[in-house]
Structure 1
Amino acid sequence: ASGGIFEADHVGSLFRLEPTDFKEVPIWVGNATAAVGDLMRFDGNIYELSAGDNTGVNPPTHTDGAVRTDGSKPTEWTFVSTEVGIVQITEVTTSNSAEADVLETLPQPLIDGPTYRWSEGAWSPKYGYPAKIENYEQRLFAARTPTDPRTLWASTQGLLTDFEPSSEADGSFAYAIEGNSSKNRIEWLQFGRRGIYIGALGEVHRGFSAQAGEAIGPLTFDTELVATDGVNAASPILPYGDPVYITADKARTNEVRFSFEQDGSRPIELSLPSQHLGAVGFEQIVWQSAPHRQAWLRRTDGTLAVMIHDPEQDVLGWATVPIAGGFVEDMDITKSATGAFDILTLVVRREIGGVTVRMVEELATNFPALIGAEPITHANHAFASLVFEPEVETDSFTLGHLVGETVYAWTDKGDFGPFTVGAGGTVTVPEPVGRAVIGMVDGTHFFETLDLTAAGREGDTRGIKRRLHSKLGLQVYQTVAGTVCTVERSFGMPDRIGQEQEILPRGVAQDVRDPASGTASLSLPSGHADQVHVRVKPQGLAPLTVTAIITTIEEAGP
Structure 2
Amino acid sequence: MTRSSPPQRSFASGEISPTLAGRTDYVRHQTGLAKAAGFIPIPEGGFTRAPGTIYEGRTRGDAQARLIEFEFAVDDAVVLELTAEWMRFWRYGQLVTSGGSPYEIATPWNLPEIKQLKFAQTADVTYFADGKRAPRRLRRFALDDWQLDRAPFSGGPLRPWNTDQDVSVEASAATGSVTLTATGGDVFDAGMIGSFFAMKVVDWSAIPLWTGNTVFSLGDKVRYDGRVYECTDEATAADKNVSPPSHATGTVLSTKDGPTWKFISTDRGLVEITAVASATSATAQVIDRIPDEIVGGGTWDWAAGAWSDLYGWPAAVTFHDQRSVWAATESEPRTVWASGIGDYLDFAEGVNADEAFAYQLATQRGLNRIVWLQGGQRGLHIGATGEVQGARSTVGDEVLSIESAAFGMIASIGAHHAQPIAPMGKPIYVSRDRSRVLELRFQLQEDSVQPLNLSLPARHLGAERFDIIAWQSSPLPIAWIVRRDGDLVAMIYDAAEDVLGWCTIPMAGGVVEEVSVTAAPDGGDDEVRVVVRRTIGGETRRHVERLAPFWGLLTGDMKIAEACHLYAAAEKIFEEPGQVVDGLEHLEGEDVLVWTDKGQFGPYTVASGRVTLELPVSRAWAGLNDDGQRARTLSLYAATRSGDGMGRQTKLTGAGVRLQRTAGYRIRAIESEWGRDERVGDWFERNGQTVPGDLVKAWSGVDPVNINAGWAAAIALEFAPLGAAPMTVLALTPTVEARD
Q: TM-score, normalised by structure 1?
A: 0.96
Q: Deviations over 1:68-102 (max 9, x none)?
A: 113134x1001111111111101112322211111
User: Cα distance, 1:348 vs. partner?
Assistant: 0.5
Give the letter for the 1:248 counterpart.
R
User: Cα distance, 1:555 vs. partner?
Assistant: 2.3
Give the letter for the 1:416 counterpart.
F
User: Cα distance, 1:200 vs. partner?
Assistant: 0.7
Q: Is residue 66 of structure 1 aligned with residue 270 of structure 2?
A: no
Structure 2: gaps of 5 or more residues: 1-181
**Whole-angstrom CA distance in 2 between matches of 1:356 and 1:47:** 69
User: Cα distance, 1:183 vs. partner?
Assistant: 4.9
**Whole-angstrom CA distance in 1 between matches of 2:565 and 2:692:** 17
After the TM superposition, which of the residue ranges 87-96 and 516-525 deviates more from structure 2?
A: 87-96
8 Å contact kept, 1:259–1:266: yes
Partner of 1:537: 720
Give the letter for the 2:228 counterpart.
I
User: SS of the residue aligned with 2:682?
Assistant: coil
For the structure 1 residues 183 and 255, does the alpha-carbon distance in structure 2 shift closer, same or farther, using more than 3 Å as the test? closer
8 Å contact kept, 1:251–1:278: yes
Q: Is residue 232 of structure 1 aligned with residue 416 of structure 2?
A: yes
User: SS of the residue aligned with 1:434?
Assistant: strand
8 Å contact kept, 1:52–1:76: no
Partner of 2:682: 499
**Whole-angstrom CA distance in 1 between matches of 2:221 and 2:692:** 94
**Whole-angstrom CA distance in 2 between matches of 1:267 and 1:442:** 37
Aligned residues: 553
After the TM superposition, which of the residue ranges 341-350 and 169-178 deviates more from structure 2?
A: 169-178
User: SS of the residue aligned with 1:279?
Assistant: helix
**Whole-angstrom CA distance in 1 between matches of 2:446 and 2:647:** 41
**Whole-angstrom CA distance in 1 between matches of 2:455 and 2:678:** 27
User: Cα distance, 1:184 vs. partner?
Assistant: 2.1
Tell me which of 334, 337, 343 is aligned to 1:150: 334
Partner of 1:48: 230
**Whole-angstrom CA distance in 2 between matches of 1:414 and 1:554:** 39
Q: Is residue 284 of structure 1 aligned with residue 448 of structure 2?
A: no
For the structure 1 residues 453 and 133, does the alpha-carbon distance in structure 2 shift closer, same or farther, using more than 3 Å as the test? same
User: SS of the residue aligned with 1:240?
Assistant: helix
User: Cα distance, 1:525 vs. partner?
Assistant: 1.3
8 Å contact kept, 2:685–2:692: no
Q: Deviations over 1:446-496 (max 9, x none)?
A: 1111222122322333222322222x1111111111111111122111111
Tell me which of 57, 63, 67 is aligned to 2:242: 57
User: Cα distance, 1:304 vs. partner?
Assistant: 0.8
Aligned positions of 1:452-471 closer than 5 A: 452-470=636-654
8 Å contact kept, 2:664–2:695: no
Q: Is residue 405 of structure 1 aligned with residue 590 of structure 2?
A: yes
**Whole-angstrom CA distance in 2 between matches of 1:445 and 1:458:** 38
Higher relative contact order structure (alpha carbons within 8 Å, sequence separation ≥ 6): 2
Q: Is residue 31 of structure 1 aligned with residue 229 of structure 2?
A: no
User: Cα distance, 1:275 vs. partner?
Assistant: 1.0
**Whole-angstrom CA distance in 1 between matches of 2:580 and 2:528:** 30
8 Å contact kept, 1:127–1:145: yes
For the structure 1 residues 443 and 212, does the alpha-carbon distance in structure 2 shift closer, same or farther, using more than 3 Å as the test? same
Structure 1: gaps of 5 or more residues: none
Partner of 1:161: 345
**Whole-angstrom CA distance in 2 between matches of 1:50 and 1:467:** 104
Tell me which of 342, 366, 391 is aligned to 1:207: 391
Q: Is residue 259 of structure 1 aligned with residue 443 of structure 2?
A: yes
**Whole-angstrom CA distance in 2 between matches of 1:414 and 1:219:** 68
Partner of 1:175: 359
**Whole-angstrom CA distance in 2 between matches of 1:182 and 1:125:** 25
8 Å contact kept, 1:475–1:519: yes
Tell me which of 93, 98, 102 is aligned to 2:286: 102
After the TM superposition, which of the residue ranges 360-369 and 496-505 deviates more from structure 2?
A: 496-505
**Whole-angstrom CA distance in 2 between matches of 1:29 and 1:461:** 94
Aligned positions of 1:423-462 closer than 5 A: 424-462=608-646
User: Cα distance, 1:410 vs. partner?
Assistant: 0.4
Tell me which of 261, 267, 270 is aligned to 1:77: 261
Taking only the aligned residue pairs, the percentage that are identical comes to 39
8 Å contact kept, 1:150–1:182: no
**Whole-angstrom CA distance in 2 between matches of 1:233 and 1:456:** 52
8 Å contact kept, 1:386–1:438: yes
Tell me which of 597, 603, 610 is aligned to 1:418: 603
User: Cα distance, 1:279 vs. partner?
Assistant: 0.8
Give the superposed CA RMSD.
1.6
